[in-house]
Amino acid sequence: MTDSTTLELTRLIDAPIARVWDAWVDPVKFAQWWVPHPWSAEILQHDVWAGGGFSMQMISPDGQKLAAPGCFLLVEEQARIVFTSTMSEGFQPVESSFPMTAQILMRADGDQTHYTARVLHPTEAGRKQHEEMGFEGGWGAALSQLEQLLRS
């Protein structure tokens, strides 16, 4: 954690940055790893460019669906993706029951990738809520699934 409103997870992924990037921008691949099992994801929109929208349904094992919409704020190929839950496509502000902005940072190191997920919350209470919901376990499990996908 870098401050009272930020959560952070860092990992060295044993795959070249081009493959990590592809797993982020290809919606079929993204759906395979982003949501921790036994949950699954249905990707409805995945426009990975600044102002592009994203929308998915996270589906629980019993079939409950949770909507996860947002907007990509900044995309730097094979380096950084920044997205938020407080806007939709075209930077349109939206109400969000869980306001946050995430920064995904990637840096090549030979055939490996330094990967950092940094999630910023508007308040310390929001950060604490996300932490209590299982940020480290959930986002960590998703990263493990990404690594597994990249090994296949």
Q: What CATH number is attached to the domain comprising 50?
A: 3.30.530.20
Q: Which residue has the tokens 């090994």?
A: 151
Residue 122 in domain: yes
Residue 22 in domain: yes
The model's confidence at residue 1, banded by pLDDT at 50, 70 and 90, is very low
pLDDT in tens, 52-82: 999 999 999 999 999 989 999 999 999 999 9
Residue 1 in domain: no
User: Cα 60 from chain centroid?
Assistant: 18
pTM of the model: 0.93
Average pLDDT of every residue of the chain: 95
> Which residues constitute the domain of residue 39?
6-151
**What distance in Å separates the CA atoms of residue 103 and residue 31, rounded to the nearest whole number?**
19
In which region does residue 10 sit, left (phi positive, over 0), alpha (psi from -120 to 50) or beta (all else)? beta
Per the structure, the count of domains in the chain is: 1
pLDDT in tens, 68-123: 899 999 999 999 999 999 999 999 999 988 899 999 999 999 999 999 999 999 99
Please state the length of the chain. Answer: 152
Question: How large is the average pLDDT for residues 9-33?
Answer: 98
Of the chain, the end-to-end C-alpha distance in Å amounts to 31
Taking alpha carbons only, the member of 96, 52, 58, 57 closest to residue 71 is 52
